[in-house]
A and B are shown apart, each in its own frame.
Chain A
């Protein structure tokens, strides 16, 4: 296939205008010794039908999608209404650049403005940016933002924060002199308060925890936030399962200074991990330290409302090495999908979805923990994930389920050696009762 739109006749005329006899001549400004001088060693070009066949056969080797799955752990299965696909596929949304020319980008800019509003409503914060790459990077950016705000060197990060978020934070701060310490979790699955208190001190820049946390447990945000604030530390709340915001109290109302998270649950398919979107919101007084693009409302010369990218003096293209972040391209199209998703579900739909998650996860957890050789590992309240502990090797349990066409839960021993023979299960509104019952029956057989 070729996507070139020039005929031989066009090329001849254009070369003449350019004052050369061949394209090779235009490459005269390259030293000869670096020219490749051979064709690239790549597979021969394919027509569209061949290409489709090739990828259909690659996709068919992902037999995961034929399984009944109870995997969550940062990527959640939720129903996506048809209009999200239909509207986001429009070329007018898919094929523009970052809206640098606002007069030609009011569609994208108004969508970002609505997205920012929705994020603020859900998180209970004053200001949202236009999106970051993903939840992990948003958490890392939140840590760096806290460090810029108060200059203190230590950040306390919950051990119950998604393991990949913790790894990403460590990577980001490695060369910047910020120290990361972990806060342990207790028997409820939530923060072990005594450990938090023991580690909070005058050097603590921020306390970062996730709710619902990696084990599904809903944290007591208000109480923990107060402890952070008593030590003049900023309180950062990460939300990896954004659907929870449909029913749980907003982190802003419970004392968060910065809220960061992953927006995949809002209209974005699992996609083997991306592209999705990181979100980030903060209090008004911290606006100038927020990383990433921000859309703002203004007026044109005729007094009509319009939107522009604003506060760009925080950003790399103006401030270069003094910018609040190096981010340039973000996840605008994913934020568009999230906006369409949220406006489609609306107030009642989002809440109903979130409540169904709680009911179904509760039903599944109760049913599974009643099986002989299975018990709930933690006793705290959860949203749509929970940890089960098995009397036998968890690997044989997972393999046994897989043999019956079921994936899940996730073996936690790799990330948490202290959680031996434990697995994380996720149940959302997409799981029907008969599917949950099938999981229970299969587990019972595997353990028999």
Chain B
């Protein structure tokens, strides 16, 4: 196998992969005089076009991806990303338009924003959405800032945010960035919110409960209406992390469960590709009372045209530039319009069917800490395999040898040695069976030949990497001669 070098290692002076047209305005020989000009960009690459193409094509082949196979990362919703959505987002009318263009020249874009907002309001059962947040974590921050601003307007922004111990790490981090202190709510024996613990902690110092529903175990919070009641009775808000909306679309709506604020990940539920770590998009939906606090600007209808409204004195302000990750919104809208109401419901139904098929197929081979029914994902642990000294890491690495991507590892934190599996709705039974077969083989190997697991992967481009050394002695860029 060719080991692909870094581009800097194949660079040589004078090579070019691109040429501009000759300068067509009169060249002033001394134009750079008086400007702080750099001599050269030291060691910046110089390669030919074919070298760039082969470099990235070879690198691409060292990536696993949804287009290649099953990608069961729990809470990441790695579903198929339709190709038509990419083509649509590339239409020059969208891709070439400038965000500061006069409103009458970008009516199509403003309509896209309005259509996405309206569709998300209907799907989530809430009154208004902002599409500005760039990803889930920024959505959380925006949502918490909206709550903070509303409470502050009532006279007291409060001090505490409650978050279950099963939550994603962005929840406490976002609450903290909004100036709140975080208190953890314990999970009960079912893996859901302990109502007594919640009732005890829910005081008038608490601004909000941040809840993921279904939670990171894939378990729906059956007592959601009681939870909302407890939070609302003390004047707090119920924030829902919508990372797991894929289990619920068209089945039930957060707004109908007492949720006041939600963020939704378009790069999960609404099929926009994850791109190896973004761009995402994290729209935030709120009830009517919180709408005045959403970021500026808002798209509004004025007569027969769409316009941008900046005159919103109670708004929290901007959380980023312009209108969010706009082309991601275009892709999500294409997905929603292609599926229609029945297709949107089918997302959730088939995601839940696929997940339960996997759960039932593997529940004798792998330990399930919680027997509670689950929706779109299930969380096994390595408890049985640990008896032979095999950890969830070994299981994950062996899956790589067997041609599938491992599940999410070691999360949620309430399950020791977790393997969190979310198949999504777009997997075929054949691909699910390949995964199930691989997991069963690994369970057998753990008993019969644990060594093969502990030394896995055996056939990948690189084998187990020394992450400790990487952190202890960080090499985070290429340097000549090093």
Contacts and interface: CB of A to CB of B under 8 A. Distances in A.
Interface stretch (A100-108, A194-202, A368-376): A100-108
A414 B337 CA distance: 37
B337 A46 contact: yes
B32 A92 contact: no
A253 B123 CA distance: 52
Contact of B106 (A64, A113, A116, A171): A64
A151 interface: no
B276 A336 contact: yes
A60 B339 CA distance: 23
Interface string A78-96: 0101010111011111111
Interface string B105-135: 1111101100000010011000000000011
A96 B91 contact: no
Interface stretch (A152-160, A227-235, A359-367): A359-367
B469 to A, nearest CB: 5
B63 A105 contact: yes
Interface hub of A11, A45, A75, A360 (most chain B Cβ within 10 A): A45
Interface in A338-373: 340, 342-353, 355-356, 358-360, 362-363
Contacts of B439: none
A391 interface: no
Interface string B362-398: 0000000000111100000000000000000000110
B135 A133 contact: yes
Given A107-B61, A271-B327, A359-B31, A127 B476 contact: yes
A328 B408 CA distance: 15
Contact of B95 (A127, A271, A317): A271
B281 to A, nearest CB: 8
Contacts of A121: 41-44
A249 B36 contact: yes
B300 interface: no
Contacts of A389: none
Contacts of A343: 7, 17, 45, 47, 52, 55
A42 B249 CA distance: 12
Contact of B141 (A110, A262, A326): A326
Interface string B300-337: 00000000000000001111111111111010001011
B276 A273 contact: no
Interface hub of A71, A299, A316 (most chain B Cβ within 10 A): A316
A253 B298 CA distance: 41
Interface stretch (B195-203, B230-238, B440-448, B458-466): B458-466
A15 B71 CA distance: 22
Nearest to A40: B341
Contacts of B405: 101, 104
A186 interface: no
Contacts of A289: none
B277 A330 contact: yes
Nearest to B357: A14
A168 B109 CA distance: 22
Contact of B465 (A45, A58, A308, A381): A308
Interface hub of A111, A126, A343 (most chain B Cβ within 10 A): A343
A4 B350 contact: yes
A131 B278 CA distance: 10
A438 interface: no
A167 B320 CA distance: 8
B164 interface: no
Given A120-B477, A272-B322, A326-B141, A355 B32 contact: yes
B117 to A, nearest CB: 13
Given A39-B250, A320-B172, A311 B37 contact: no
Interface string B176-207: 11110010000000000000000000000000
Contacts of A304: 3, 462-463
Nearest to A128: B477
B302 to A, nearest CB: 16
Given A36-B252, A274-B279, A176 B179 contact: yes
A316 B27 contact: no
B256 interface: yes
B23 A248 contact: no
A73 to B, nearest CB: 6
B429 interface: yes
A175 B316 CA distance: 11
B98 A272 contact: yes
Contacts of B11: 346
B20 A75 contact: no
Interface in A47-65: 48, 51-52, 54-56, 58-65
A89 B86 contact: yes
A188 B248 CA distance: 57
B476 A29 contact: no
A320 B168 CA distance: 8
B2 interface: no
A4 B431 CA distance: 13
B465 A306 contact: yes
Nearest to B258: A34
A175 B148 contact: yes
B452 interface: no
B234 to A, nearest CB: 21
A170 interface: yes
Nearest to B45: A343
Nearest to A108: B276
Interface hub of B27, B43, B97, B277 (most chain A Cβ within 10 A): B277
A344 B43 CA distance: 14
B211 interface: no
Nearest to A24: B349
B291 to A, nearest CB: 17
B28 A362 contact: yes
A308 B476 CA distance: 10
26 contacts: A1-B343, A14-B356, A18-B359, A31-B224, A51-B337, A61-B111, A65-B96, A101-B396, A105-B276, A111-B56, A114-B478, A121-B44, A247-B32, A272-B98, A272-B322, A273-B322, A300-B462, A300-B464, A304-B3, A316-B172, A319-B173, A329-B277, A329-B278, A333-B276, A355-B32, A359-B27
The 8 closest A-B pairs by CB, nearest first: A273-B322, A59-B93, A333-B275, A45-B340, A91-B67, A332-B277, A175-B179, A273-B99
Given A93-B275, A101-B64, A108-B276, 4 more contacts: A34-B256, A54-B337, A294-B474, A433-B24
